[in-house]
Chains A and B, each alone.
Chain A
Amino acid sequence: MKRVFGAAFTMAATVAVGLSWATIGNAACGKVSIAEMNWASAELMANVDKIILEKGYGCEVELVAGATMPTFTSMNEKGAPDVAPELWANAVVEPLTKATSEGRLIVANKAPITGLGEGWWLPPATIKKHPELKTALDVINRPDLFPYSEDKSKGAFVGCPAGWGCQLVNANLFRAFEMEKKGWVLVDPGSAAGLDGSMAKAVERGENWFGYYWSPTSMIGKYKMHKLDFGVPFGGKENWDGCMVKAEKDCANPKVSSWTKSEVNTVVTSNFKKNAGVALDFISNRVYPGDIMNGMLVFMTSQKASGKDAAFEFLEKHGDVWEKWVSPDVAKKVKASL
């Protein structure tokens, strides 16, 4: 090992300093800030990225708390943080396309987690009691099964918290499926805690619950929630991008549609490419299989583990997954540090 390094240094001295720095790799990585989004899978990914970038590539990594819209806006406008490991791009399609075409942002990984998605969910107990509820269309005809606490004659459909991108989509789908006419109320849970709380409360007590959620999440894993088929095909890109994701005033005639395929990306700034270009390959190689991710999320909730704990657990237990993302050299360094 020493000999290799020695050779590298001699080369560095004789050929060109700049070139050798790039080949050694370590010193070519500068300061990187990674957005640690406020949900479990993103916390895990941010912490895994931090450990691998620090130990494997010698970057200086700082984790920054984030959420989809603020983080994206900040990356787009200010170029910081440098990495958004799990950016749900559906909410920011247009500005993201613009930013990538202008070279400010780079979509480094188009699908960092497999098998994920947003949609409408039912608890397993509801499915068991009412096996006839096969699609969203079936559920929509039975508001009586999901009484709204403030008006028992109506059904409660728990939408997306105020201000999230999905809030507009849910509101538009609510209109497209004519749910108000069929006796539904669109409940705004107000925050992620409100949404989780309402689902957890219903499932823990064996009550019926019908609402929006997304996977992979510890909530879905923990409560074994059932994703509903919408019972209608996807209504077309034009309907979705031009109407569903917009405010009511810009979407006069929403068409019924299943939920669009979720685009989850790892987005990095152009600055990251400059500062930590060596690690770009790792970012674009790392794909978490959906079942492994779900397993990690259940681990996080059942063990009350933080993102950092979970990252170490992941690196220790699932070497077969992550060692393929990096060169053997880097893998060895990361392993030695565990």
Chain B
Amino acid sequence: MDWFFNFPDMSRSDLREFKKTVDFAFTDFSRSYGADIESFFDPLLMFLVWFEKFFINTPWPLIVLGILILAWIGSRSIPVVIGTFLSFMLIGYFGMWEDTMSTLAIILVATFLCISIGIPMGIAMARSNKVQALIVPILDVMQTIPSFVYLIPVVMLLGIGKVPGLIAVCIYAIPPIVRLTNLGIRLVDKDVLEAADSFGANYWQKLFGVQMPLALPTIFAGVNQTIMMALAMVVIASMIGVKGLGLPVLRAISNQYLALGLMNGLAIVVLAIIFDRVTQKFGLRMQKYRNDGKD
């Protein structure tokens, strides 16, 4: 009855052998292809470095002005613009300007990367149930796997720094945009599609003329979630050497610096709120037609 109370598991030496084999295979892979993979990402790294330098070296009034203009274009809301202005003033006043700019740079690149990979993936999923069945489990894994599990192999391949950080952020932040693009397109009214068919629209006309515009609010909710999740990963990315607001938070955690942790943590929150409000207002404006003639 021993097997009933104790799980009949693999013998310890076999398990050890198994783990060693996996590790060895990965080390081997990293040795033979690591340098190539690294040079593949080199242009991206150069761009990230340039983009961060651009944010840090541009005089702060220009950056603030640029952000305020973007906030206005996005939200068309005076309170949001004023709130953005005050937040950035406070961030600068408390000496977190440079870290905030580093974080902003990597988050913007991450968001752009996620959107440009995520939306086509979402469209492909919406087209075919088979593709959906294939991708959904992958997204589940990406969202739930503890980040350090994939951080270690990524670091072994690419070293520490911006590129592995960006990959870590994207693995976590890409699922919402993929899921919501898929969902948005699938939720488009069948009658509308039938009408488009009867007018003789081909696949691409239907996709870009009917499905995408009608799905835009949902897709935009995905973009919003992607940005939020990217910001949530800032501290984790710093654990593999990404500069920015995450590093002071890590320093604060290990030293119990309450004020330092709180200040930098709140700076991340402030960035998140600004992104959230601006993109939400933008999304709302895009679906304004939905309320037309309803009141």
Contact = CB atoms under 8 A, between A and B. Distances in A.
Interface stretch (A19-27, A160-168, A313-321): A160-168
Interface stretch (B115-123, B147-155, B283-291): B147-155
A304 B19 contact: yes
A198 B162 contact: no
A73 B161 contact: no
A309 to B, nearest CB: 9
Contacts of B256: 69-70, 73
B251 A162 contact: yes
A174 B158 CA distance: 25
Given A149-B161, A198-B160, A201-B155, A193 B239 contact: yes
B62 to A, nearest CB: 24
A190 B49 contact: no
Contacts of A205: 30-31, 34-35
B241 A194 contact: yes
B239 A201 contact: no
A163 B160 contact: no
B157 interface: yes
Contacts of B241: 187-190, 194, 198
B254 A67 contact: yes
Contact of B27 (A149, A164, A197, A204): A204
A96 to B, nearest CB: 15
A204 B254 contact: no
Contacts of B34: 201, 205
Nearest to B12: A309
B54 to A, nearest CB: 14
A204 B248 CA distance: 30
B170 to A, nearest CB: 18
B95 to A, nearest CB: 12
Interface in A141-181: 149-151, 161-164, 167
Nearest to B34: A205
Interface in A60-92: 67, 69-70, 73
Contact of A197 (B49, B160, B247, B248): B160
B271 interface: no
A303 B152 contact: no
A153 to B, nearest CB: 12
For the residues of B in contact with A, the DSSP-based class is helix
A149 B162 CA distance: 10
Contacts of B31: 204-205
Contact of A304 (B16, B49, B157): B16
A191 B161 contact: no
A173 B19 CA distance: 40
Contacts of B23: 304
A331 interface: no
B187 interface: no
B240 A189 contact: yes
A310 B243 CA distance: 37
B45 interface: yes
A200 interface: yes
Contact of A201 (B157, B162, B246): B157
Nearest to B252: A163
Contacts of B255: 69, 163
Given A190-B239, A205-B34, A198 B159 contact: yes
Contacts of A69: 254-256
A322 B246 CA distance: 44
Contacts of A197: 151-152, 155-156, 159-160, 240
A67 to B, nearest CB: 7
A73 B248 CA distance: 19
Of B19, B27, B45, B155, the most chain A CB neighbours within 10 A belong to B155
Interface in B219-272: 238-243, 246-248, 250-256
Q: Which of B27, B162, B250 has the most CB of A within 10 A?
A: B250
A151 B19 CA distance: 36
Contacts of B155: 193-194, 197-198, 201
B152 A193 contact: yes
Given A190-B160, A193-B240, A201 B30 contact: yes
A304 B14 CA distance: 12
A200 B240 contact: no
A233 B49 CA distance: 38
Contacts of A163: 250-255
Contacts of B157: 201
A149 B251 contact: no
Given A162-B238, A191-B240, A193-B148, A200 B160 contact: no
Interface of B: 16, 19-20, 23, 27, 30-31, 34-35, 45, 49, 148, 151-152, 155-162, 238-243, 246-248, 250-256
The 7 nearest A-B residue pairs measured at CB:
A163-B254, A197-B155, A191-B239, A162-B250, A163-B251, A162-B251, A190-B239
22 contacts: A70-B254, A73-B256, A150-B45, A161-B250, A162-B238, A163-B254, A163-B255, A187-B161, A188-B247, A189-B240, A190-B160, A190-B240, A190-B247, A191-B250, A194-B239, A197-B151, A197-B152, A197-B155, A197-B156, A198-B160, A201-B157, A304-B16
Interface of A: 67, 69-70, 73, 149-151, 161-164, 167, 187-191, 193-194, 197-198, 200-202, 204-205, 303-304
Given A162-B247, A193-B155, 7 more contacts: A151-B49, A190-B246, A190-B247, A191-B239, A193-B240, A205-B30, A303-B16
